Amino acid sequence: MTARTARPVVSATLARVALVLAVLVPFLVAGPGAGRASADDPLDPSPLSAAGSTPALSPVEASPVTVRLTSIAPQVLRAGEDLHISATVTNTTDDVLENPEVVVWFNRFRMFSRDEVAEWAARDLQDPAGQRSVSEPLDEPLGPRATRTVSIIVPAESVRLTDLPGLWGPRGLALEFRADRERLGMARTYVLWSTTDDEPPRVPVAVVVPFVGPPTAPVPRTAPESPEEPSPDPTPTDGTASAASAAVTAAATADEDLDDLTDEGGRLRRMLAAANVDESVTLVVDPSLLAAADSGSATAQRFAERLRTAIGNHETYALPWADPDVAAVQHADQGELLTVAVERTRSTEDLADANTLLWSADPGTPDAQTLAGVQVTRAAAMVTGPQQAQASSEALQTVATSSGDVTTIAPDALLTSLVTGGAGAQSTPASIAQRALADLAVVAHGAVPPAGVVIAGDRETAPGREALAAVVEALKSAPWTEAAPLSRVLAGDSTVPAQRAPLPTDGKNELGAQSVTALADAREDARSFAEVLDDPEAYLAGIDDEVLAPLAVAWRAEPKTRAELVRQTVQHVRERAEGLSIVETSDLNVIATTSDLRLTVRNDLTVPARAQLVVDPRKACLTVGDFETPVLDPGDTSITVPLEAHANCDVLVEVALVGPSGQDVAEPIAFSARLSPTIESVGTVVVAILLVLGLALGIARTVRRGQSARRGARTVAEADAPVNLPVLGGTPTDPVPEVSDDERARRLAEDEGAR
């Protein structure tokens, strides 16, 4: 169709002069908002509300006829170009609408702020629409509930926008439906005007799509001694877990949910379709989603293949394994779990080289403790919840914390809502693209263009494929925007001052610090225990996945199920720290100085263990000799411990089994020992020592003094005695020589003289 112009065409020179005056005078006198207060075309009989008033009803609710923009070309209009508009009109009433026509209105004043852009879109049906440009009558009446497509061409001479430097940017455009000269419907959109001699700064705009699966949990094995991998597809009857296990229930539910999410119309399927509209779209992927899809149904496996293809074609960042709740982990001061999740991601084949990106689970800017997770994981940044546009609409922001500045990415709330279905029922991909370009033109017109703008929904909201495709295509066509990957935005410098982190706060349904700590402690106990095994990695296979699963942000939606899962996970992981024990022994009586103690260590594992038995008497009256702990093969191992008692006493003896780092790997035991070394043992030693000393002294004295005269006289006297003794009661056989009394007296005198 050929549109009719509303006014006769004057000469080109006069028209340009008049247009310049029409544009400049209101700016100089009344400012940029004066265009809204100007009178509408005299043919418009509708009463107009004041500019900026808040509509009582939305256009869709108030309009008997729905007008939807289907296309506008070119998206960015330049001097000398005709504007081609296509739309559909739908009669929502049961009446026949006579004498229908479509009228194009222009608000020719450039919009200077995003608030002005939003105010134009929010105007009601009867609010001012600017200046009438062209109209196009329909060939026949519009019947009840009927829909018709209309096309209008606005000739270049009817556009009447000034081609002067600095005047590029958005203007208001309205498409009105009339019947019998009464306004019954209207669609408001924007004309993006590009002047000839301007080169606007290009604002990088990154579209980011996260891929996160449903809440799930790997099924833990109940036999901690087995170093084999857990069953990849456990059932309630295969011995890996009871039918009532929270992990089994979660895994079964997750399989069903994953089928729905990856099937036609599912969230993940729609996200992947949206991401594939252009290679400039950035992906953020939880690697555990790929693992779950690989072991899922045929539908899930096909999705995994397509997602891997997309990863190869797009810039991709990796979330820590299982998308842990950064706020919950950091508030529990268990940042080591985030490091574990990042290392688990790097162990995968698909995302081993991808940079890490954290994604906040709460709206607004996270607190300082949560933001510290960026430093713990060395992530590129943390994506926060979409935030309302600031003066510069800067996505790249710096938040000051006690441990240093942290980079955050704040998606644009308005632009994000446009592509995720929040633009309203009357919106179309064409109108969404024009609105996005209008807002971004205002952003680019700022004194200091931002480092970038980011469009990113939350984990649960998929962008509309058609809307996103229209926006990305518009970004490529406008001279003030560029469709860029996220790294392009991160490479820039933020144009806003660093802000202080807000006060600490717990998010909705955030996992408590006590539960997070219990998971971390259970994991540490299991890892310490595994140090005594020859192949600790095989023994601990799957333990990190078990511990990280309950930390997933997705579990915030099911806090009761998560609580039971945490309890069972802690129990199962702690079972990995069991399997070695010291057999209890009765109290001991020691009755000798040295004795042996026999202890038994039991290994209930199926593999040998290398640990050290430590026997520790609590008093010095008992000491332990040197001994070696043999390799603890499965079963019972007897160990002989030498003891030495030093005094009579009662002593408590503690026995422990420790690993190479001195950690306990079995429950310690204790027993009492009564020491009573026998007195004979001690006395014999003392007497023997005294006898030896006495003998030595006697010999030495004899040698030193020699023989006395008295001892010699006695020897002579004894020599006179008879040699043979007589029989009992008889007389000596040898005769006894007789000695006279004088001789006897003389000998006695000699003896006394010798003395």
- 463 and 519: one domain? no
- What are the phi and psi torsion angles at 520 (to 5°)? -65, -40
- When pLDDT is averaged across residues 43-54 and rounded to a whole number, the result is 34
Domain end, chosen from 575, 598, 618, is at: 575
- 98 and 151: one domain? yes
- 554 and 427: one domain? no
- 472 and 613: one domain? no
Distance CA(689)–CA(519), nearest Å, equals 66
SS (H, E, C) 142-176: ECCCCEEEEEEEECHHHHCCCCCCCCCEEEEEEEE
Residue 733 inside a domain? The answer is no
- Domain total in the chain: 4
Which of 201, 172, 199, 177 lies closest to 188, judged by CA? 172
Q: Which pTM was predicted?
A: 0.78
CB 30 within 8 Å of CB 37: yes
- 353 and 463: one domain? yes
- When pLDDT is averaged across residues 127-141 and rounded to a whole number, the result is 94
Residue 229 inside a domain? The answer is no
Residue 384 in this model has a pLDDT that exceeds 50: yes
Please tell me the predicted confidence (pLDDT) of residue 754: 62
- Residues constituting the chain: 755
Residue 139 inside a domain? The answer is yes
Residue 505 inside a domain? The answer is no
- Greatest Cα-to-Cα distance within the chain, rounded to the nearest angstrom: 195
Distance CA(156)–CA(78), nearest Å, equals 9
β-pairing, 594-603 with 580-582? antiparallel
Task: Write the pLDDT tens digit of every residue in 281-328.
Answer: 999 999 999 999 999 999 999 999 999 999 999 999 999 999 999 999
The CATH number of the domain holding residue 161 is 2.60.40.10
For the ranges 174-188, 228-242, 503-517, the lowest mean pLDDT is seen at 228-242
Residue 184 in this model has a pLDDT that exceeds 90: yes
How sure is the predictor about 6, in pLDDT bands with cuts at 50, 70 and 90?
very low
Domain end, chosen from 542, 575, 608, is at: 575
- 571 and 441: one domain? no
Please tell me the predicted confidence (pLDDT) of residue 710: 52
- 632 and 518: one domain? no
Residue 685 inside a domain? The answer is no
- 304 and 404: one domain? yes
The CATH number of the domain holding residue 395 is 3.20.110.20
Residue 108 inside a domain? The answer is yes
Residue 222 inside a domain? The answer is no
- 26 and 69: one domain? yes
Using CA atoms of 115, 118, 119, 123 in order, give the dihedral in degrees to the nearest 10. Answer: 180
Please tell me the predicted confidence (pLDDT) of residue 752: 65
Residue 715 in this model has a pLDDT that exceeds 80: no
Cis peptide before 74 (omega within 30 of 0): yes
Domain enclosing residue 72, as ranges:
4-198
- 571 and 587: one domain? no
- 165 and 48: one domain? yes
Residue 715 inside a domain? The answer is no
CB 190 within 8 Å of CB 206: no
Domain end, chosen from 473, 500, 527, is at: 500
- 556 and 620: one domain? no
Distance CA(480)–CA(477), nearest Å, equals 9
